[in-house]
Amino acid sequence: MSRRKLDSKAFAKQKQSRRKWLTFVRMCRYGVNNFSRNAWLTIAATAVMTITLLIIFIAVASRSILIETVGQLRDKVDMSIYLKTDTPDDQANAIKKELLTLSTVKSVTYVSSTQARDIIAQENKNDVNYLAALNEATNMNPGILHVVVTNIDDTTQLASFVDNDKLLKQYIDTSRKPSFAGERKATIASIGHAINFAQEVGVIASLVFVTISSLIIFNTIRMAIFNRKEEIQMMKLIGADQSFIRGPFVVEAVVYGFIAAIIATGIGYGLLFSSSNTLASYDIAVQPTINFAVFYGGFVVLGMIIVGAIIGVISSLLATRRYLKV
């Protein structure tokens, strides 16, 4: 007897699961059908959703490109500490080792007085007059310690070292103040401000278009509800539950987001690849972002679809909650 009860419970559970699955399939089918019922509203909702997701894509890609560009520029910027022309190499290397012990210092390169002169000659090898003047000059170039720090905005530790290190004080060229990036630092700071500004503009633009897109989808769903008012009343009379009535509208909004995500991602990739050469010609580090977009292309598309679906679902739930009153 107990075995029959167990079998009947298992059968009932299986039947219930099958019924839920069929209900879900029907909701999806009705939602897809609703998507094609009003072509103009569908096109408008999908177009605005596409613009919204494209702006989000551009904002994220631009931020990544700017961060990579600033990162590369920061790595190229070094702080110069000038040493006397007669500084022995062993003493200069000893100062170099002390600099490397600082937590904010990434690397140190020492260029001796002779090496500095050779570098200048190599850089101006095509200028005959300059080379002649350089050969006749009796003054020596100072030795230079090129210091790369982890953060060019924080040179406190390096400045303290220059002011207090006893060995450095013996050999530092007092006629030349250490160059803590100078104009290059100002340039990097300006780019940093540009990043923050671009990021804020991207976020604001994304929020504005997300709102506009949500409102259009909201109105699209509302009009669909009004057009199917009698059909919805009939579904209520025959005992359809809330989720079954609301489900097709949610599915319809998800379809908007899905299609818009595919289109926006395609346009976004096209813009990224087509502008890569132009951006690279201005020393903008676009390649790391392109490499990421190519390698993780599937995740990018999936992320765009999820964002589009979230916008659509929230809009449809608000519309159905307000106008279906189920």
Q: For residue 163, give the CATH number of its domain.
A: 3.30.70
Asked if residue 131 is part of any domain, the answer here is yes
Domain count, the chain: 2
Look at residue 326 in the predicted model and tell me its pLDDT.
47
Contacts (Cβ under 8 Å, ≥6 apart) of 68:
285, 286, 288, 289
Based on the domain organization, do 36 and 136 belong to the same domain?
no
* pLDDT beyond 90 at 290: yes
The secondary structure of residue 172, as a DSSP letter, is B
Asked if residue 16 is part of any domain, the answer here is no
Based on the domain organization, do 174 and 192 belong to the same domain?
no
Higher per-residue confidence, 256 vs 133: 256
The residues facing 149 across adjacent strands are 105
Based on the domain organization, do 192 and 169 belong to the same domain?
no
How far is C-alpha 170 from the chain's CA centre? Answer: 48
Which domain covers residue 92, as residue numbers? 78-180
Could you give the angle at which helices 156-164 and 89-100 cross, rounded to 10 degrees?
140
Q: Of 162, 180, 198, at which residue does a domain stop?
A: 180
Based on the domain organization, do 158 and 269 belong to the same domain?
no
Contacts (Cβ under 8 Å, ≥6 apart) of 78:
109, 146, 147, 148, 181
Based on the domain organization, do 144 and 235 belong to the same domain?
no
Q: Of 180, 203, 228, at which residue does a domain stop?
A: 180
Asked if residue 10 is part of any domain, the answer here is no
What is the amino acid identity at position 282? Y
> Alpha-carbon distance 253 to 54, whole Å?
18
CA distances from 210 to 51, 104, 252, 302 (A): 9, 42, 17, 18
Based on the domain organization, do 133 and 165 belong to the same domain?
yes
0.85 surpassed by pTM: no
Mean pLDDT score, 257-276: 92
Per-chain mean pLDDT for the chain: 77
